[in-house]
Amino acid sequence: MNPKLMPPPRSVGLSVEDFKQSIAGKLFYTLARFPEVATRNDVYLAVAHAVRDRLLERWLATAATYRDRQSRSVCYLSAEFLLGPHLGNNLLNLGVQAEVRQALRELGIDLDEVLAQEEEPGLGNGGLGRLAACYLDSLATLQIPAIGYGIRYEFGIFDQVIRDGWQVELTDKWLRLGNPWEIPRPEIAFEVSLGGRTETGSDGDGNYRVRWIPERVVKGVAYDTPILGYRVNTANLLRLWKAEAAESFDFEAFNQGDYYGAVEQKLFSENITKVLYPNDVALQGKQLRLEQQYFFVSCSLQDMIRIYAQSGRSIEGFDRKYAVQLNDTHPAVAVAELMRLLVDVHGLPWERAWRITCNSFGYTNHTLLPEALEKWPLPLFQAVLPRHLEIIYEINRRFLDQVRLRWPGDQERVARLSLIDEGGARSVRMAHLACVGSHAINGVARLHSELLKRDLLHDFHELWPEKFSNQTNGVTPRRFLALINPGLASLLTRVLGDSWTRDLERLRELEPLAEDAAFRAEWRAVKRANKRALAEEVQRRAGVQVDPDALFDVQVKRIHEYKRQHLNLLHVAALHERLRRDPAYAAPARCVLLAGKAAPGYRLAKLIIKLVHSVAAAVNADPAVAGRLRMAFLPDYNVQNCERIFPAADLSEQISTAGKEASGTGNMKFALNGALTIGTLDGANVEIREEVGAENFFLFGLEEGEAAQLRRDGYRPRDFYERDPELRLVLDRIGSGFYSDGEASLFQPLVDGLLNEDPFLLLDDFRSYVDRQQEAGCAYQDTEGWTRMSILNVARMGRFSSDRAIRDYCRDIWQVEPQPVTLGADAERSR
Ligand code: NBG
């Protein structure tokens, strides 16, 4: 065979005619359908395949560029990538929205219907997974060589439906109708060992060697999705691993005549990538979860080594070739796995392997909540990864020697820093492994990074202050403005030109326009149209009619006590009562919207969802507040459903207890779309407020330092209840069955929790929150003033682009450079 003789295919064009041809061709030759019987999904698949061809062309050019330049690459290891629908984003980034819309129109098809057909890959829980997706978008747009590595879950985050006000989880069968964006690579596959035991011995040269004799072996197969940058030729790779049975093991069973045993083995292996775990409280100790983590990390590192070996260079240059980022501790076992690969498989001496490992990894922490910090019980870890446990002991032994040298006799410090938690049931501390094995450690907003240094990773900071930095999160302005808010995007482009999509700081030039009454009127018209669209959706999906002229007060995010959706509810209940008592009460019509999923095992979060529905039912049915207060819960919050929400919000609820939200990124998406924030000094709210100006932000609540002080002094929530009649009234109502048809016991646990413990300080913050809400309401009634603030918010959001974040990571942590990609002359001509 001599495939070198094959000429390169003709490049696929981007004109209306080109797309018409391709789409018709795909329907026929790829999907084997006549137009007469094609379903909506067939049409979606045909369009997706036509677009994918254009991506593949760019991806191949990108791969060739990286190979020829032997460029340094970022490998972003993440157990979650919450991409959202691909088609719309790819059309935007390719710059062919108008062409494809027109091509379809000429074929008698509406693009919006085709877009709605896509089932989004929900391979993440929330902010952490979505951040990874934003970073992939920015890496490609900035032309940085990068690979995202993760898990191809067969079932992503569950679909949420609401029955009788309660959350019910349904499996997310996102692959049911096929996934046109992925390319299976059966030839790119690695074996991953699990369980068993180790044996020591020496190799031919008399060196000490350890051999791992596993109990099971599974195979990881690569599935690739091209990630195209915005209006550039760079298309990077997202490589997700699917678990399958390893053939070698099947054969053994077959030979012994154990056919069913072999089949069972196959099913067992495939389990590893079956389902994404919701970030539940009861995750610690789930063996399958540890196996998932190790599985994808091992495949990814083996793949990096394979790619690097193609250049013919020695493994010792691994850390010059790759900057490997650990997205939280989920992939932290990579530190031990790279050591195993370098020492046991490639025969490097420990010290050299350790230098390469530390130089390669960076670790991003995403939470301060103690229950979210991963720890694996030693017996479990030992059973799944016996060799890695030995490696971790050795890393720990050498590490603690260093600590003892620096602080002789300080046994407590040694215990605090150890990779092994010796208190109670012994466990491996994954965050410690990540810190020791990385040259860079960062938090995701300034306050969060400071708290990491002060509290959670205090001892590590004392040891290695130079490893620490802050990298405040960002969001992609392509998906979260250009794509979801075309009205605002075209207004911005008309007045600023289109460069803001790649250089978000350009939004600053809007500032003077805040003083222009005609511009303000246009701004309002855009918002008004977006609110109308959301109102229709609320009607359709929640069955609640809302007035597009009301103040849209919105809180969307995972349901969690620290995020305090129940504080929002206390305000709604209080406002309800004020409006009932005083028909002349000065406040605008307000529509309160919530959305978000609760972890299936998190009972209180699920009770909060029920309470939202109960309060909404009471408010919406009360003629005394008709036209003045409405409330709705939008089910199944996901990337697709957020498209309507951010552009339509007036007020963004960012009300977590200070010190608890690492960053937040929804806060950025709202502000970028012209909502004002009511929020605490928590996470990135602090920096958003700094940027947009204190006068354009509704601040309330305790600061982190005050909250910590209050806890130290002994917080007594009941005092607040007793002192504040309005607070007492709303808590009594919730606890007495006012919102639950007299069934007092239903919400009693929630109320008791607040009165007795209130770990997230709702009762303390209630008064300042309600006061600020009232001010926000009055401010909204000053239409011109509100619009001015909205414009200034958008104008000053430039810093929160994920492009800025990625540039900072590249400079501070990764040391990688852009590698622009050019297409062949043929393809360039077709543009
Ligand atoms: C989340 C934080 C958010 C933050 C995102 C992205 C986890 C473990 N952490 O505040 O709670 O915005 O990460 O950094 O999901």
**DSSP collapsed to 3 states, 424-457:** CCCEEEHHHHHHHCCCEEEECCHHHHHHHHHHHC
Give CA separation, 212 vs 198, 342, 390, in Å. Answer: 4, 14, 11
CA of 460 to the centre of ligand 1 (A): 21
- Residue 447's contacts (CB-CB under 8 Å, 6 or more residues apart) are 659, 681, 682, 683, 686, 704
For the CA of 683, the closest atom of ligand 1 is: 10
Residue 558 annotated as catalytic: yes
**DSSP H helical segments within 582-676, as ranges?**
603-621, 639-648, 666-672
Nearest CA to ligand 1 atom 13: 128
For the CA of 444, the closest atom of ligand 1 is: 14
Nearest CA to ligand 1 atom 12: 664
Catalytic residue among 219, 366, 387, 461: 366
Catalytic residue among 665, 677, 680, 787: 665
- Residue 39's contacts (CB-CB under 8 Å, 6 or more residues apart) are none
pLDDT of residue 337: 98
Q: Tokens 């094609």 sit at which residue? A: 38
Contact status, residue 658 vs residue 682, Cβ threshold 8 Å = yes
Q: How far apart are CA 270 and CA 292, in angstroms?
A: 11
Give CA separation, 1 vs 6, 7, 271, 303, 310, in Å. Answer: 11, 14, 39, 26, 21
Q: Is 111 helix (H, G, I), strand (E, B) or coil?
A: helix
CA of 328 to the centre of ligand 1 (A): 9
CA of 683 to the centre of ligand 1 (A): 10
Residue 393 tokens read as: 């002991």
Of 78, 82, 128, 452, the residue with max ligand 1 atoms within 8 A of its CB, to mutate for a pocket test, comes to 128
CA of 366 to the centre of ligand 1 (A): 5
CA of 364 to the centre of ligand 1 (A): 10
For the CA of 661, the closest atom of ligand 1 is: 10
Q: Is 535 helix (H, G, I), strand (E, B) or coil?
A: helix
Residue 375 annotated as catalytic: no
pLDDT of residue 42: 97
CA of 666 to the centre of ligand 1 (A): 10
Nearest CA to ligand 1 atom 15: 128
Catalytic residue among 321, 439, 527, 558: 558
Q: Which residues pair with residue 392 across a beta bridge?
A: none
Contact status, residue 481 vs residue 488, Cβ threshold 8 Å = yes
Catalytic residue among 660, 669, 689, 788: 669
Other CB atoms within a 10 A radius of the CB of residue 549 amount to 13
For the CA of 473, the closest atom of ligand 1 is: 14
**272 closest CA partner among 187, 186, 152:** 152
Of 325, 452, 663, the residue with max ligand 1 atoms within 8 A of its CB, to mutate for a pocket test, comes to 663
Measured between its terminal Cα atoms, the distance across the chain in Å is 34
Contact status, residue 326 vs residue 75, Cβ threshold 8 Å = no
pLDDT of residue 830: 52
**240 closest CA partner among 133, 130, 300, 151:** 151
CA of 367 to the centre of ligand 1 (A): 6
Nearest CA to ligand 1 atom 6: 128
Q: Which residue type is seen at 678?
A: I
Nearest CA to ligand 1 atom 3: 664
Catalytic residue among 557, 560, 613, 788: 557
Tell me the backbone φ, ψ of residue 159, rounded to 5 degrees.
-85, 140
Tell me the backbone φ, ψ of residue 816, rounded to 5 degrees.
-120, 155
pLDDT of residue 815: 98
Average pLDDT, consecutive stretches of 10 residues, N- to C-terminus, the chain (831 residues): 78 95 96 93 98 97 95 97 98 98 97 97 97 98 98 97 98 96 98 97 87 96 98 98 82 67 80 91 80 98 96 94 98 98 96 98 95 91 98 98 98 98 94 98 98 97 98 98 98 98 98 98 98 98 98 98 98 98 95 97 97 97 97 98 97 98 98 98 98 98 98 97 98 92 88 98 98 98 98 98 98 98 70 52
CA of 355 to the centre of ligand 1 (A): 30
**Pocket lining for ligand 1, CB < 6 angstroms:** 126-128, 131, 328, 366-367, 372, 444, 473, 661-665, 683
Q: Is 236 helix (H, G, I), strand (E, B) or coil?
A: strand
For the CA of 372, the closest atom of ligand 1 is: 8
Q: How far apart are CA 258 and CA 262, in angstroms?
A: 6
CA of 128 to the centre of ligand 1 (A): 5
pLDDT of residue 372: 77
CA of 501 to the centre of ligand 1 (A): 25
CA of 289 to the centre of ligand 1 (A): 19
Q: What are the DSSP E strand ranges found in 399-547?
A: 420-421, 427-429, 440-443, 468-470
Q: Is 222 helix (H, G, I), strand (E, B) or coil?
A: strand
CA of 446 to the centre of ligand 1 (A): 14
pLDDT of residue 744: 80
Contact status, residue 150 vs residue 79, Cβ threshold 8 Å = yes
For the CA of 328, the closest atom of ligand 1 is: 8
User: What is residue 158's DSSP assignment?
Assistant: P
Of 330, 368, 430, 444, the residue with max ligand 1 atoms within 8 A of its CB, to mutate for a pocket test, comes to 444
For the CA of 126, the closest atom of ligand 1 is: 15
Catalytic residue among 563, 564, 590, 788: 563
Contact status, residue 326 vs residue 362, Cβ threshold 8 Å = yes
pLDDT of residue 205: 83
Residue 557 annotated as catalytic: yes
Of 366, 557, 806, the residue with max ligand 1 atoms within 8 A of its CB, to mutate for a pocket test, comes to 366
For the CA of 125, the closest atom of ligand 1 is: 15
Of 157, 326, 367, 597, the residue with max ligand 1 atoms within 8 A of its CB, to mutate for a pocket test, comes to 367
∠ CA 154-159-161, rounded to 5°? 155
For the CA of 127, the closest atom of ligand 1 is: 5
Tell me the backbone φ, ψ of residue 724, rounded to 5 degrees.
-115, 105
**774 closest CA partner among 601, 553, 621:** 553
